[in-house]
């Protein structure tokens, strides 16, 4: 995989098949009735999403204080294994989920993007804690990236400084809900099925005064200030 | 342990060529320090480490301090007798002179074997621009290694004789010295819903600059000119023209 | 490549490990044959955060090791110089995020030294209680992480975090936050614990030696652990002193320097406790020292709960708002769980410090990492790093 900045994926994915029979033409009540008779009826999409959402492998990757709470979420008391996400992979090639747990400094940001590019699709990103969302208490730091969503797309934001392990678990459940609702076909298909959406993002370079570029306009546009 | 005054006198006797000044600390802690002659800094440091009465074998803390140029207003009062015979007038003459700034490295020394300390020593550079070299004390105390690299990185003091003088915290391509008082940080304070306090002020300044075309909002700008204090007012109340520096 | 070229490796290392670069590279050298450079970190499961080291290997042996810092440099000092004295207190929580109570105290100590602020007796005892509970949390977690590095993936850490959760629950009940306690103030503490809290804390402390016995029964005599730690990463005392190493790493080499005894800050002189010392200065000594220090901390805590006086927890003359110390400077330090944690402050009479500097024990304890690792295998370097006990929030600040 090339690490050169690029906006389109290196190998085009097959275009979604048109006219694929849409899942769920049978009503939930009918399905429930069938299930009571021992017949499980599901769509490929549901089965696929059910499997994916219950075995999310996070990247073993701690940045700062929030990483300690992430470890705490994996220990016996909070037990992230109940949600099928206890297999922390040290290699991005084996991971589905990047939990950006802590302050992303400008020195670290290119490496975070590079790790994200190395993760295979489908992949998800959780911004854990105030620092990963916006710079948090360290927003005024010259070396602090003011939110990881300036460089890579973020699916779930978990506020807190640091968020409690329960908050991380809640974020994980929200992510599972998102995955379960993903479509494989059609115009609102999930990101990883779409050939026109990038899977890799430009890696900023270390500049003389700042990162270059400091943000990715394709991913993030600043909110409009109130017009008061 | 001897007092700092006694130590100063002993150093002055031992190193007659060196200027050793006593810097009084007016605060409650009263930890007075010694400003050493930078040229003989390493010799004096070796003496402090090996002197049997001091044995300052442990250099705990090394830090830089930035003292920018300071404008000092001198007021000279002269009494002018009134020719009319009235009471003499006091005439104040004000003159402004600039005290040149410098960078300073401060070392806190303790003795682990004799369990005393601290002895605080300071080294000063000539100015803040071109004469910023100080002797490295890493050959004397290995603990200065990373801390002097950090000062080199954040303050820009060049430590002559340091075995491995590279930036410690920022990346190598970085050009600035961020802990200096006049450092202007990159302007990436776009408006965000949670902004408040100082961050909100900076976001407003950034927005003004973007409206005025100083910063392209889609692109980062390296070291933009610092916004004037007056330009931090909201965009609606300040005309666009005034935002231009 | 000639011998002198080998010394120029640093320049190459700069380019190596750049975001576009590879993490493994072969280097040729006339003495060592093929050398291999391995960039470990900043994303690596056993570098305890975003620490990075570039190791040059001859086979599996380390011939050169350069630490690289700054991946968590979040400008604590610059931010602190632009905010009030009290405004920096929450930031000190995030320096050493495992031990917020002791970093709070170190900062409060420095400011109190700067301003001459007195502290009531009850607050002094509470501070010692919090600092020693923090030491228990830190050392228990350290041992857990150390065994992670030794390859016992996660199990000892589960036991350590079980105890950590109990102590952290106490901190949360007292201060409102699990990790970022923000508890100390200039001239006292923020919240007075209730009798129920004190009773719960006392029960926890009384039961802690049982956990330590359980922990030691599982770990200390373990054959693999002994083989992997004894004689590994030796550190001789003269070098350690010259390199400014402090805390358990220094004492494991046999240097008797504990600021609780040397400086006698707070009310520590009133307490009866011993300072454990190592003899060999190897990884095993550093491990055992932590276990022994935890037992001494329990002794201190038992005495503190016994002698805790009543009275106010804040000096009534303490000023929180519009706090402006007189111009001057002060360096305050204490014995944190990782070593000498110091704050150097220069006041110019304004509400913000003119210069604010943290003396980070984690950073300075890494000074001799290369010397400790030379000649050992890369797997041992991970264990040596684990035994030094760093936290990146403090290394990079």
Could you tell me the pLDDT band of residue C292, with boundaries at 50, 70 and 90?
very high
Query: How many domains would you assign to chain C?
Result: 2
Q: In 3D, which of C277, C365, C382, C379 has the Cα closest to residue C96?
A: C365
Give me the mean pLDDT over the A28-32 stretch: 82
Residue B228 sits in the same domain as residue B117: no
Could you tell me the pLDDT band of residue A16, with boundaries at 50, 70 and 90?
very low
The pLDDT value recorded for residue C206 is 92
Query: Which residues on adjacent β-strands are paired with residue A117?
Result: none
Q: Which of A107, A140, A210 to mutate to test the interface with B (most CBs of B within 10 A)?
A: A210
Residue C244 lies in a domain: yes
* DSSP code for A189: B
Residue B53 sits in the same domain as residue B148: yes
Matching residue, tokens 């992997």: C228
What would the pLDDT profile of B127-174 be if each residue is shown by its tens digit? Answer: 888 888 999 999 999 999 999 999 999 999 999 989 889 899 999 888
Of C68, C85, C116, the one marking the end of a domain is C68
Q: With an 8 Å Cβ cutoff, are C74 and A144 in contact?
A: yes
Residue C252 sits in the same domain as residue C311: yes
Residue B93 lies in a domain: no
> Which of A5-19, B145-159, C143-157 is predicted with the least confidence, judged by mean pLDDT?
A5-19
Residue C84 sits in the same domain as residue C55: no
Helices C195-219 + C121-150 axis angle, to 10: 30
Of C10, C70, C113, the CB nearest to B164: C10
Residue B225 sits in the same domain as residue B148: no
Q: Taking the CB of residue B84, how many other CB atoms lie within 10 A of it?
A: 5
Could you tell me the pLDDT band of residue C32, with boundaries at 50, 70 and 90?
low
Pair C342, C77: CB distance under 8 Å? no
The pLDDT value recorded for residue C29 is 59
- Closest-CA distance, C77 to chain B, in angstroms, reads 8
The dihedral over CA atoms of A137, A142, A146, A151, expressed in degrees to the nearest 10, equals: -150
Structural tokens at position B124: 């000063």
Q: With an 8 Å Cβ cutoff, are B25 and C329 in contact?
A: yes
Structural tokens at position A110: 């290119």
The pLDDT value recorded for residue C172 is 92
Residue C63 sits in the same domain as residue C192: no
| B93 pLDDT more than 90 | no
Could you tell me the pLDDT band of residue C26, with boundaries at 50, 70 and 90?
low
Matching residue, tokens 């005894």: C261
Could you tell me the pLDDT band of residue C41, with boundaries at 50, 70 and 90?
confident
Give me the mean pLDDT over the C33-59 stretch: 83
Chain B interface residues (partner A, CB cutoff 8 A): 169-176, 178, 183, 185-186, 188-194, 198-199, 202-204, 207, 217-220, 222-223, 234-236
Could you tell me the pLDDT band of residue C16, with boundaries at 50, 70 and 90?
very low
Residue B11 sits in the same domain as residue B59: yes
What is chain A's mean pLDDT, rounded?
A: 83
| C312 pLDDT more than 80 | yes
Structural tokens at position B162: 């340091």
Please give the Cα distance from C162 to C159 (Å, whole number): 5
* C158 and A CB contact within 8 Å: yes
Q: With an 8 Å Cβ cutoff, are A209 and B222 in contact?
A: yes
Pair A169, A73: CB distance under 8 Å? yes
Asked whether the bond before B195 is cis by omega within 30 degrees of 0, the reply is no
Residue C162 sits in the same domain as residue C235: yes
- Chain C residues touching residue B59 (CB < 8 angstroms): 244
Structural tokens at position B211: 């409206």
Residue C374 lies in a domain: no
The ipTM estimated for the assembled molecules is: 0.85
| C25 pLDDT more than 80 | no
pLDDT, greater one: B237 or C224: C224
Pair A31, A23: CB distance under 8 Å? no
Q: What count of CB pairs under 8 Å joins A to B? A: 70
Residue C97 sits in the same domain as residue C235: yes
Query: How many domains would you assign to chain B?
Result: 2
Residue C152 sits in the same domain as residue C178: yes
Q: In 3D, which of C71, C76, C47, C42 has the Cα closest to residue C397?
A: C76
pLDDT, greater one: C44 or C367: C367
DSSP string, C357-373: EEE-HHHHHTTTHHHHH
Pair B12, B26: CB distance under 8 Å? no
Could you tell me the pLDDT band of residue C33, with boundaries at 50, 70 and 90?
low
Q: In 3D, which of C126, C154, C125, C129 has the Cα closest to residue C141?
A: C154
Give me the mean pLDDT over the C82-90 stretch: 89
* C64 and B CB contact within 8 Å: no
Please give the Cα distance from B200 to B198 (Å, whole number): 5
Pair C219, B33: CB distance under 8 Å? no
| C323 pLDDT more than 80 | yes
The pLDDT value recorded for residue C337 is 92
Parallel, antiparallel or unpaired: strands B102-111 and B116-124: antiparallel
Task: Give the residue from chain A lying closest to C50, CA to CA.
Answer: A63
Asked whether the bond before C176 is cis by omega within 30 degrees of 0, the reply is no
Residue B88 lies in a domain: no
Residue B14 sits in the same domain as residue B114: yes
Pair B169, B154: CB distance under 8 Å? yes
Of A142, A224, A228, the CB nearest to B186: A142
Give me the mean pLDDT over the B14-42 stretch: 85
Task: Give the residue from chain B lying closest to A204, CA to CA.
Answer: B220
Could you tell me the pLDDT band of residue C249, with boundaries at 50, 70 and 90?
very high
The pLDDT value recorded for residue B96 is 84
- Closest-CA distance, C258 to chain B, in angstroms, reads 10
Parallel, antiparallel or unpaired: strands C33-40 and C24-29: antiparallel
Residue C147 sits in the same domain as residue C35: no
Query: How buried is residue A192: exposed, middle or buried, by Cβ count under 10 Å (0-12/13-18/19+)?
Result: middle
Please give the Cα distance from B64 to A26 (Å, whole number): 72
- Chain A residues touching residue C393 (CB < 8 angstroms): 64-65
Parallel, antiparallel or unpaired: strands A124-128 and C328-336: unpaired
Residue C29 sits in the same domain as residue C108: no
- Closest-CA distance, C63 to chain B, in angstroms, reads 17
Give me the mean pLDDT over the C285-299 stretch: 92
The pLDDT value recorded for residue C303 is 93
| B233 pLDDT more than 60 | no
For residue A134, the SS3 value is helix
Q: In 3D, which of C129, C92, C131 has the Cα closest to residue C111?
A: C92
Residue B84 lies in a domain: no
Residue B51 sits in the same domain as residue B125: yes
For residue B218, the SS3 value is coil
Give me the mean pLDDT over the C297-303 stretch: 93
What would the pLDDT profile of C229-244 be if each residue is shown by its tens digit? Answer: 888 888 889 889 999 9
Please give the Cα distance from C396 to C96 (Å, whole number): 10
Could you tell me the pLDDT band of residue C200, with boundaries at 50, 70 and 90?
very high
Residue B54 sits in the same domain as residue B135: yes
Of B120, B143, B160, the one marking the end of a domain is B160
Residue C161 sits in the same domain as residue C38: no
Residue B120 sits in the same domain as residue B237: no
* DSSP code for A183: B
Residue C10 sits in the same domain as residue C51: yes
Structural tokens at position B189: 């304070």
- Chain B residues touching residue C367 (CB < 8 angstroms): 142-143, 145-146
| A173 pLDDT more than 50 | yes
The pLDDT value recorded for residue B214 is 57
Give me the mean pLDDT over the A15-24 stretch: 47
Residue C371 lies in a domain: no
- Chain B residues touching residue C77 (CB < 8 angstroms): 179
Please, which residues have CB within 8 angstroms of residue B171's CB and are 6 or more apart in sequence?
Answer: A107, A206, C70
Give me the mean pLDDT over the B106-115 stretch: 91
Please give the Cα distance from B38 to B43 (Å, whole number): 10
Give me the mean pLDDT over the B75-101 stretch: 80
pLDDT, greater one: C152 or A93: A93
* C335 and B CB contact within 8 Å: no
| C134 pLDDT more than 90 | yes
Give me the mean pLDDT over the A3-15 stretch: 48
Residue C380 lies in a domain: no
The pLDDT value recorded for residue C126 is 93
Structural tokens at position A3: 């690490």
Q: With an 8 Å Cβ cutoff, are A214 and B220 in contact?
A: yes
* A214 and B CB contact within 8 Å: yes
Residue C383 lies in a domain: no
- Closest-CA distance, B214 to chain C, in angstroms, reads 26
* A212 and B CB contact within 8 Å: yes
Q: With an 8 Å Cβ cutoff, are A164 and C178 in contact?
A: yes
Could you tell me the pLDDT band of residue C23, with boundaries at 50, 70 and 90?
low
- Chain B residues touching residue C52 (CB < 8 angstroms): none
CA distances for C313 relative to C19, C125, C134, C192, C272, angstroms: 51, 10, 20, 7, 23
* B211: containing domain: 185-245
Please count the CA atoms within 13 angstroms of the CA of A132 that sit on its side-chain side: 29
What would the pLDDT profile of C329-362 be if each residue is shown by its tens digit? Answer: 999 999 999 999 999 999 988 889 999 999 999 9
Please give the Cα distance from C300 to C56 (Å, whole number): 44
Please give the Cα distance from C137 to C141 (Å, whole number): 6
Give me the mean pLDDT over the B227-243 stretch: 36
| C5 pLDDT more than 50 | no
Of A134, A207, A215, the CB nearest to B192: A134
- Chain C residues touching residue A68 (CB < 8 angstroms): 97-98, 179
Residue C114 sits in the same domain as residue C144: yes
* C82: containing domain: 76-359
Residue C391 lies in a domain: no
Give me the mean pLDDT over the A52-80 stretch: 90
Q: In 3D, which of C302, C5, C310, C269 has the Cα closest to residue C129?
A: C302
- Closest-CA distance, A136 to chain B, in angstroms, reads 10
Residue B169 lies in a domain: no
Task: Give the residue from chain C lying closest to A139, CA to CA.
Answer: C74
| B106 pLDDT more than 60 | yes
Task: Give the residue from chain B lying closest to C325, CA to CA.
Answer: B27
Of B113, B143, B172, the CB nearest to C367: B143
Residue C366 lies in a domain: no
User: Which other chains touch chain C, taking contact as 3+ CB pairs less than 8 Å apart?
Assistant: A, B
* C367 and B CB contact within 8 Å: yes
Q: In 3D, which of B202, C19, B155 has the Cα closest to residue A141?
A: B202
What is the number of helices (H) and of strands (E) in chain A?
A: 6, 5
Parallel, antiparallel or unpaired: strands C355-359 and A211-212: unpaired
- Closest-CA distance, A51 to chain C, in angstroms, reads 26
Residue B57 sits in the same domain as residue B112: yes
Matching residue, tokens 């003459």: B93
For B187-222, letters b (16+ CB in 10 Å) and e give: bbbbbbeebeeebbbbbbbbbbbbebebbeeeebbe
Residue C236 sits in the same domain as residue C313: yes
What is chain C's mean pLDDT, rounded?
A: 86
* DSSP code for A59: B
Query: How buried is residue A7: exposed, middle or buried, by Cβ count under 10 Å (0-12/13-18/19+)?
Result: exposed
Residue C345 lies in a domain: yes
Residue B60 sits in the same domain as residue B116: yes
* C73 and A CB contact within 8 Å: yes
The pLDDT value recorded for residue C304 is 93
Could you tell me the pLDDT band of residue C31, with boundaries at 50, 70 and 90?
low
Q: Taking the CB of residue C299, how many other CB atoms lie within 10 A of it?
A: 16
Pair B63, B147: CB distance under 8 Å? yes
Pair A66, A102: CB distance under 8 Å? yes
- Chain A residues touching residue C97 (CB < 8 angstroms): 64-65, 68, 162
Residue B78 lies in a domain: no
Q: With an 8 Å Cβ cutoff, are B147 and C344 in contact?
A: no
Residue C241 sits in a domain whose CATH number is: 1.10.645.10
The pLDDT value recorded for residue B73 is 81
């Amino acid at each position: 995989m090339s690490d050169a900045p690029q906006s389109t994926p290196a190998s085009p994915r097959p275009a979604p098949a048109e006219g694929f029979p849409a899942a769920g033409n049978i009503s939930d009540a009918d399905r429930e009735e069938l299930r009571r008779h021992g017949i499980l009826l599901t769509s490929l999409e549901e089965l696929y999403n059910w499997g994916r959402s219950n075995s999310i492998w996070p990247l073993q990757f701690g940045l700062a204080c929030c990483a300690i709470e992430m470890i705490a979420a994996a220990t016996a008391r909070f037990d992230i294994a109940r949600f099928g996400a206890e297999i922390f992979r040290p290699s991005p090639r084996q991971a589905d989920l990047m939990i950006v747990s802590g302050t992303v400094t400008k020195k670290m940001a290119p490496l975070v993007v590079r790790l994200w590019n190395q993760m295979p699709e489908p992949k998800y990103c959780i911004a854990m804690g105030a620092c990963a969302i916006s710079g948090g208490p360290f927003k005024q730091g010259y070396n602090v990236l003011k939110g990881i969503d300036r460089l890579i797309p973020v699916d779930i934001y978990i506020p807190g400084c640091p968020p409690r392990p329960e908050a991380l678990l809640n974020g994980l459940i929200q992510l599972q809900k998102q995955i379960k609702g993903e479509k494989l076909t059609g115009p609102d298909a999930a990101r990883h099925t779409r050939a026109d959406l990038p899977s890799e993002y430009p890696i900023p370079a270390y500049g003389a005064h700042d990162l270059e570029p400091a943000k990715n306009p394709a991913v993030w546009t600043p909110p409009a200030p109130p017009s008061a | 342990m001897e007092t700092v005054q006694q130590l100063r006198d002993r150093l002055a006797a031992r190193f007659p060529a060196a200027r050793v000044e006593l810097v009084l600390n007016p605060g409650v802690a009263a930890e007075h320090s010694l400003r050493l002659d930078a040229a003989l800094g390493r010799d004096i440091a070796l003496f402090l480490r090996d002197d049997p009465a001091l044995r300052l074998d442990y250099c705990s803390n090394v830090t830089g301090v930035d003292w920018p140029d300071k404008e000092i207003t001198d007021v000279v009062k002269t009494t002018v007798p009134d020719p009319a015979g009235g009471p003499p007038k006091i005439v104040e003459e004000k003159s402004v002179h600039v005290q040149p700034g410098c960078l300073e490295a401060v070392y806190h020394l303790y003795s682990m074997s004799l369990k005393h300390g601290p002895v605080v020593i300071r080294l000063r550079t000539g100015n803040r621009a071109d004469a910023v070299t100080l002797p490295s004390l890493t050959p004397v105390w290995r603990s200065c290694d990373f801390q002097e690299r950090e000062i080199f990185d954040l303050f820009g003091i060049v430590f002559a004789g340091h075995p491995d003088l590279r930036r410690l915290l920022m990346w190598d391509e970085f050009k600035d010295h961020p802990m200096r008082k006049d450092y202007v940080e990159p302007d990436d304070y776009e408006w965000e819903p949670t902004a408040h306090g100082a961050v909100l002020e900076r976001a407003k300044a950034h927005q003004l600059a973007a409206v005025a075309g100083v910063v392209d909002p889609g692109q980062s700008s390296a070291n933009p000119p610092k916004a004037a204090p007056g330009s931090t007012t909201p965009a609606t109340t300040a005309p666009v023209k005034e935002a231009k520096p | 490549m000639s011998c002198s070229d080998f010394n120029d490796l640093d320049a190459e290392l700069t380019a190596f490990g750049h975001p576009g670069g590879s993490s493994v590279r072969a280097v040729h050298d006339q003495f060592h044959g093929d050398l291999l450079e391995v960039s470990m970190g900043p994303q690596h499961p056993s570098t305890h955060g975003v620490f990075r080291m570039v190791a040059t290997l001859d086979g599996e042996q380390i011939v050169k090791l350069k630490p690289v810092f700054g991946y968590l440099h979040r400008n604590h000092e610059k931010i602190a110089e632009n905010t009030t004295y009290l405004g920096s207190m929450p930031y000190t929580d995030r320096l050493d995020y495992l031990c917020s109570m002791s970093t709070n105290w170190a900062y409060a100590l420095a400011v109190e030294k700067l301003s001459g602020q007195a502290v009531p007796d009850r607050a002094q005892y509470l501070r010692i209680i919090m600092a020693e509970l923090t030491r228990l949390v830190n050392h228990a977690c350290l041992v857990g992480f150390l065994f992670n590095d030794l390859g016992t993936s996660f199990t000892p850490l589960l036991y350590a975090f079980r105890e950590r959760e109990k102590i952290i629950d106490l901190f949360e009940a007292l201060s409102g936050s699990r990790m970022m306690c923000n508890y100390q103030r200039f001239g006292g503490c923020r919240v007075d614990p209730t009798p129920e809290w004190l009773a719960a804390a006392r029960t926890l402390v009384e039961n802690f030696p049982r956990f330590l016995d359980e922990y030691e029964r599982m770990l200390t005599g373990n054959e693999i652990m002994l083989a992997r730690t004894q004689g590994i990463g030796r550190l001789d005392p003269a070098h350690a002193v010259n390199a400014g190493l402090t805390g358990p790493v220094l004492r494991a080499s046999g240097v008797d320097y504990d600021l609780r005894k040397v400086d006698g800050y707070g009310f520590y002189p009133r307490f009866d406790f011993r300072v454990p010392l190592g003899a060999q200065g190897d990884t095993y000594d550093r491990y055992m020292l932590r276990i022994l220090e935890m037992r001494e901390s329990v002794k201190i805590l038992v005495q503190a709960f016994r002698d805790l006086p009543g009275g106010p927890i804040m000096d009534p003359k303490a000023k929180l708002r519009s706090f402006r110390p007189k111009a001057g400077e002060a360096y305050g330090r204490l014995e944190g769980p990782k070593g000498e944690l110091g704050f150097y402050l220069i006041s110019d009479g304004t509400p913000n410090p003119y210069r604010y500097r943290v003396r980070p024990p984690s950073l300075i304890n890494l000074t001799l990492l290369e010397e400790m690792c030379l000649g050992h295998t890369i797997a041992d370097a991970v264990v040596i790093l684990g035994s030094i006990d760093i936290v990146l929030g403090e290394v990079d600040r």
